[in-house]
Amino acid sequence: MLLQMLDYLGVAVFAITGGIVASRKQLDIVALLFFATLTGIGGGTLRDLLLGVPVFWVENEWYLLVCFVVSALVWYFAEWIEKLSKPLRWADAIGIAAYSVMGAAKALTVGDTILVAILMGVSTATFGGILRDTIAREPSSIVKPEIYVGAAFAGAGGFVVLVQLGAPQILAAILAASCALILRGGAILRGWTLPGHRIGTGSDPG
Amino acid sequence: MLLQMLDYLGVAVFAITGGIVASRKQLDIVALLFFATLTGIGGGTLRDLLLGVPVFWVENEWYLLVCFVVSALVWYFAEWIEKLSKPLRWADAIGIAAYSVMGAAKALTVGDTILVAILMGVSTATFGGILRDTIAREPSSIVKPEIYVGAAFAGAGGFVVLVQLGAPQILAAILAASCALILRGGAILRGWTLPGHRIGTGSDPG
Amino acid sequence: MLLQMLDYLGVAVFAITGGIVASRKQLDIVALLFFATLTGIGGGTLRDLLLGVPVFWVENEWYLLVCFVVSALVWYFAEWIEKLSKPLRWADAIGIAAYSVMGAAKALTVGDTILVAILMGVSTATFGGILRDTIAREPSSIVKPEIYVGAAFAGAGGFVVLVQLGAPQILAAILAASCALILRGGAILRGWTLPGHRIGTGSDPG
């Protein structure tokens, strides 16, 4: 039930990020609708294909309706949304928190191992954004120095470990998603990073 | 039967667009063959993965043969093709018209709902081009201001609505594909656009 | 058995290439781990989705462990790796040789035709690199003039033809992979190319 809500939340906020990018690129409403939907359902679609289960939005039409409503809201309220502080990044952060937990949970449900569940959570949480940034030709967040994949990893890993330790699923989900959100929020507000490689050659041709 | 032909047509014209891009980048014949094939079968492959049905070109080898023949023709006649007016865009437009209808029709065939069928048509029609443009590092057409996604939407949506209203499938397919082609053609010839967002912040950091 | 080893080898060397790109971009260890894993398992994941068989790393956790070990090694030894000559390209070349054969072999195993098996080998061998280069915003190797797709084609095509001619699988695999490696190695060392298109219009608007 909570997981179901996390799933709708993840789809909705990723759709918001897609809608914001589309409105910034001044796309028309049909293109905005498509782009927002693509971003909203991208991560979960990859998850379901990899798990070999039916794709969630093909099974349950409500997800598409959520994307449509969100797109309409972004279309009409983009000017207002842009007055918020970094709306794209914050929506993306909430999406990562929701989806990293949800992706890992769904993988555990179909009987996958711990490692697979963690990777599934991380992939699910990041794929929508990768798709959005690739199509819009923006640098993907996963190759920026700020904490990004790390937050998804904390969400997916935290959930899996807590569940393995016997925590109730709902508690594990809340704690893990909060942890992911705090990490990513720190990156947005304070530029938190993990230590990165300091070697970079630059000059090596290949 | 008509749908089958639309499917071959869509694969062939998308393969042409891939071949044209490859020849403009002066790739060798093997790379051109691969790139044209990838573009030709990309959209339908996504459709079949999402629908959970066997991938069409794995089931029926003729599609690959179509891509090979098209690639050979582009290889030998590229100079002649380039004398046409905007050959890449027009082939792409025909592909969108054929694939938006075909994608929606296949989704209806396996029992999906109207919304899902429309999204499937739009995704199928645009994914081959997104793949082509992403790999070739060209700006994807879906983030350009011209009508593009809108044409795919008209093709998929028109077909689904007409079929729901009781029109014979063949008539619905012809009308919807024509409508998509006219919209996209207007965009190519006259720069038709739908109203876009006029807010674009540009300066907002995220 | 040899094919199984080729599969682990392909995953490992593609993971190395992803790790090298990530370390050059000075990503943190979690992002490097994810990026290396994505590159390592990308090609095989596409293959399994297209073939409609369970995704290999979901079935067998050892592949992920290989990616993790490789990522750790790249993280600690990147400085040393960068002293080698073109480490990224050479690891990629070994990956192409291993994966083009392995992809074609797996397609033949599930009963696909020759053409499909060859395309599956080429797609498998190139997709990990396409994913890596797209996310890292580097030009994809398949749109460079050097022999790249051609090497994958030689590996996949050579294997399929030799097996059809009755060669033992192990011999066919070794010969075909060597052939792919030699072709790609020639491209790296001597800039080998196949004849490319010499028409390129440049000025045509679409």
Rounded to a whole number of angstroms, the distance from the CA of A77 to the nearest CA of chain C is: 31
How far lies A167's CA from each of A7, A164, A175, B59, in Å? Answer: 20, 7, 10, 46
Cα–chain center distance at C143: 15
Rounded to a whole number of angstroms, the distance from the CA of B81 to the nearest CA of chain A is: 28
H/E element holding C168? none
Is residue B125 a contact partner of residue B100, using CB atoms and an 8 Å limit?
Answer: yes
CA nearest to B117 within chain A? A58
Average pLDDT over chain B, rounded to an integer: 90
Q: What pLDDT score does B78 carry? A: 86
CA nearest to C204 within chain B? B86
Rounded to a whole number of angstroms, the distance from the CA of A99 to the nearest CA of chain B is: 19
Q: How confident is the model at residue A17 (pLDDT cuts 50, 70, 90)?
A: very high
Q: What pLDDT score does A138 carry? A: 87
d(CA C23, CA C123) in angstroms, rounded, equals: 26
Q: What pLDDT score does C198 carry? A: 59
Q: What pLDDT score does A203 carry? A: 45
Q: What pLDDT score does A202 carry? A: 47
Average pLDDT over chain C, rounded to an integer: 90
Contacts of C199 in chain B (CB under 8 A): 23-24, 26, 78-79, 82
Q: How many domains does chain B have?
A: 1
Q: What are phi and psi of C34, to 5 degrees?
A: -70, -45
Is C200 within the bounds of a domain? no
pTM here is 0.90
Instruction: Indicate whether B103 pLDDT > 80.
Output: yes
d(CA C120, CA C117) in angstroms, rounded, equals: 5
pLDDT tens per residue across span C191-201: 888 877 655 44
CA nearest to C42 within chain A? A50
Rounded to a whole number of angstroms, the distance from the CA of A33 to the nearest CA of chain B is: 9
Is B201 within the bounds of a domain? no
Q: What pLDDT score does C143 carry? A: 83
CB contact under 8 A, B112 and A58: yes
Neighbours of chain A (3+ CB pairs under 8 A): B, C
d(CA C70, CA C19) in angstroms, rounded, equals: 8
Contacts of B112 in chain A (CB under 8 A): 58
Q: What pLDDT score does A119 carry? A: 94
Instruction: Indicate whether A107 pLDDT > 80.
Output: yes
Q: What pLDDT score does B107 carry? A: 93
d(CA B153, CA B170) in angstroms, rounded, equals: 18
Q: What pLDDT score does A38 carry? A: 94
Instruction: Indicate whether C202 pLDDT > 70.
Output: no
Q: What pLDDT score does C203 carry? A: 45
Is B203 within the bounds of a domain? no
Instruction: Indicate whether B203 pLDDT > 70.
Output: no
Mean pLDDT, rounded, for A122-146: 89
CA nearest to C56 within chain A? A50
Neighbours of chain C (3+ CB pairs under 8 A): A, B
Locate C119 and state its tokens.
Answer: 């395309």
Closest by CA to A206, choosing from C20, C131, C184, is C20
Cα–chain center distance at C173: 15
Rounded to a whole number of angstroms, the distance from the CA of B115 to the nearest CA of chain A is: 7
Min mean pLDDT across A40-49, B51-60, B128-137, C76-85 is at C76-85
Locate A28 and state its tokens.
Answer: 């028309």
CB contact under 8 A, C145 and B30: no
Q: What pLDDT score does B202 carry? A: 47
d(CA C47, CA B27) in angstroms, rounded, equals: 24
pLDDT tens per residue across span B151-191: 999 999 999 999 999 999 999 999 999 999 999 999 999 88
C117 φψ region: left (φ > 0), alpha (ψ -120 to 50), beta (else): alpha
Q: How confident is the model at residue B123 (pLDDT cuts 50, 70, 90)?
A: very high
Neighbours of chain B (3+ CB pairs under 8 A): A, C
Q: How confident is the model at residue C44 (pLDDT cuts 50, 70, 90)?
A: very high
d(CA A179, CA B152) in angstroms, rounded, equals: 41
Q: How confident is the model at residue A206 (pLDDT cuts 50, 70, 90)?
A: low
Q: What pLDDT score does B191 carry? A: 86
Closest by CA to C129, choosing from C170, C100, C159, is C100
How many other β-carbons are positioned within 10 Å of the β-carbon of residue B130?
A: 22
Is A158 within the bounds of a domain? yes
Mean pLDDT, rounded, for C77-95: 89
CB contact under 8 A, B31 and C139: no
> What proportion of chain C, given as a percentage, has pLDDT over 70?
95
3-state secondary structure of C146: strand
B60 φψ region: left (φ > 0), alpha (ψ -120 to 50), beta (else): beta
d(CA A146, CA A133) in angstroms, rounded, equals: 16
pLDDT tens per residue across span A22-34: 999 889 999 999 9
For A183, the domain range is 2-190
Residue of C11, C16, C20, C27 to mutate, testing the A interface (most A Cβ within 10 Å of its Cβ)? C27
Is C22 within the bounds of a domain? yes
CA nearest to C107 within chain B? B58
CB contact under 8 A, B30 and C153: yes
Residue of A27, A29, A59, A71 to mutate, testing the B interface (most B Cβ within 10 Å of its Cβ)? A27
Please provide the distance, in angstroms rounded to a whole number, between the alpha carbons at the two ends of chain C.
49
Contacts of C26 in chain A (CB under 8 A): 145, 196-200
Rounded to a whole number of angstroms, the distance from the CA of B58 to the nearest CA of chain C is: 6
Q: What pLDDT score does B3 carry? A: 80
Q: Which residues neighbour A20 within 8 Å (Cβ) at sequence distance 6 or greater?
A: A74, A78, A81, A82, A87, A88, A91
Is C162 within the bounds of a domain? yes
B205 φψ region: left (φ > 0), alpha (ψ -120 to 50), beta (else): alpha
Min mean pLDDT across A91-100, A186-195, C38-47, C113-122 is at A186-195
Closest by CA to A200, choosing from B21, C32, B65, is C32
CB contact under 8 A, A61 and B115: yes
Mean pLDDT, rounded, for C53-80: 92
Min mean pLDDT across A76-80, A162-166, B70-74 is at A76-80
ipTM (interface predicted TM): 0.88
Instruction: Indicate whether A200 pLDDT > 60.
Output: no
Q: What pLDDT score does C144 carry? A: 85
Contacts of A184 in chain B (CB under 8 A): none
Q: Which of B25, B78, B79 sits opposite C143 (nearest CB)?
A: B25
Is residue A113 a contact partner of residue A143, using CB atoms and an 8 Å limit?
Answer: no
Min mean pLDDT across B77-81, C65-69, C95-99 is at B77-81
Instruction: Indicate whether B5 pLDDT > 90.
Output: no
Q: How confident is the model at residue A173 (pLDDT cuts 50, 70, 90)?
A: very high
Is residue C40 a contact partner of residue C66, using CB atoms and an 8 Å limit?
Answer: yes
pLDDT tens per residue across span C148-182: 999 999 999 999 999 999 999 999 999 999 999 99
Q: What pLDDT score does C130 carry? A: 92
Is A37 within the bounds of a domain? yes
Instruction: Indicate whether C14 pLDDT > 90.
Output: yes
The per-residue b/e assignment along C40-72, b for 16 or more CB within 10 angstroms, e otherwise, is bbbbbbbbbbbbbeebbbbebeebbebbbebbe
Locate A39 and state its tokens.
Answer: 């971003």
Q: What pLDDT score does A205 carry? A: 47
CA nearest to A129 within chain C? C135
CB contact under 8 A, B116 and A88: no
Q: Is A59 exposed, middle or buried (0-12, 13-18, 19+ CB in 10 A)?
A: middle
Min mean pLDDT across A17-21, B192-196, C72-76 is at B192-196
> What proportion of chain C, given as a percentage, has pLDDT over 90?
71
